[in-house]
């Protein structure tokens, strides 16, 4: 099944800046795909188009058969998103943040806690589960943001610079987790 489809997708911002130009591709279930390019190449803009945060100027896209412009809530239900500057609540612990976001997806507090603990373990944050987010380093925040994107077990995961701010060992662990998830 095609999970992500882009057909002649383009985005031109007011003022004429063309961020994405005529991109076409399709991705199958379990496939890992990455955009490489310099700042300003349109990578983040493409992720925002796929999640309904922006509307294409031309072309179309779909995620699990849903149009992000017409059905953004359905796209959000089947996908997880890690943005470069993900925001969470500094006055809550890492565990509390994950449980909170799980509940937004309709997951019970008990199930949310179970899922959160598994993700915290996989992302080497178990020891910091009860620390307030304000005490987390940049790398810890990035890993917790990845856990947040995965808490509802999405079918598609969009990661915008998932290893930004991570030390080499943590980056390798994140890449390993992404490969494991693709296999599932």
Q: Has residue 54 been placed in a domain?
A: yes
The whole-model pTM stands at: 0.89
Give CA–CA dist 40/89, Å, rounded.
Answer: 29
Its domain, for residue 55, covers 1-82
Residue 161 pLDDT greater than 90, yes or no:
no
Q: DSSP readout, 127-161?
A: GGTTSBGGG--HHHHHHHHHHHHHTT--SEEEESS
Q: How many domains does the chain have?
A: 1
Q: Is 100:89 a contact under the CB 8 Å cutoff? A: yes
Residue 158 lies in a domain: no
Q: Which residues, other chains included, contact 36 with Cβ-Cβ below 8 Å and sequence gap of 6+?
A: none
Residue 19 covered by a domain: yes
- Work out the angle at residue 91's Cα, subtended by the Cα atoms of residues 88 and 97, and round it to the nearest 5 degrees: 45
pLDDT at 182: 84
The answer to the question of residue 183 being in a domain is no
Task: Classify residue 52: in a domain, yes or no.
Answer: yes
The two tokens of residue 29 are 């279930």
pLDDT over threshold 90, residue 173: no
Quick: pLDDT tens for 5-62: 999 999 999 999 999 999 999 999 989 998 888 888 999 999 999 999 999 999 999 9
pLDDT in tens, 53-105: 999 999 999 999 999 999 999 999 999 999 876 789 999 999 999 999 999 99
CATH of the domain at 76: 3.40.50.300
Instruction: Return the H-helix or E-strand segment holding 177.
Output: helix 168-183
- Residue 11 falls inside a structural domain: yes
Asked, for residue 23, whether it belongs to a domain, the answer is yes
Distance CA 43, CA 66 (A): 21
Give the pLDDT band (50/70/90) at residue 108.
very high
Residue 40 placed within a domain? yes
Average pLDDT over residues 159-169: 87
- Is residue 142 within 8 A of residue 159, CB to CB? The reply is no
């Amino acid at each position: 099944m095609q999970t992500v489809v882009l057909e002649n997708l383009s985005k031109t911002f007011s003022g004429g800046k063309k961020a994405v130009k005529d991109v076409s591709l399709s991705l199958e279930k379990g496939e890992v795909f990455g955009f490489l390019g310099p700042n300003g190449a349109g990578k983040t803009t493409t992720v925002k188009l796929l999640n309904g945060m922006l509307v294409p100027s031309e072309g179309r896209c779909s995620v699990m058969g849903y149009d992000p412009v017409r059905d953004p809530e359905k796209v959000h239900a089947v996908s997880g998103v890690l943005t470069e500057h993900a925001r969470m609540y500094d006055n809550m612990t890492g565990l509390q943040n994950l449980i909170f976001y799980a509940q937004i997806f309709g997951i019970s507090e008990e199930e949310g806690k179970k899922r959160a603990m598994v993700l915290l373990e996989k992302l080497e944050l178990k020891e910091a589960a009860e620390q307030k987010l304000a005490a987390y380093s940049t790398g810890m925040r990035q890993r917790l943001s990845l856990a947040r994107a995965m808490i509802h077990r999405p079918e598609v995961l969009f990661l915008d610079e998932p290893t930004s701010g991570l030390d080499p060992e943590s980056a390798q662990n994140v890449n390993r987790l992404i490969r494991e998830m693709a296999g599932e």
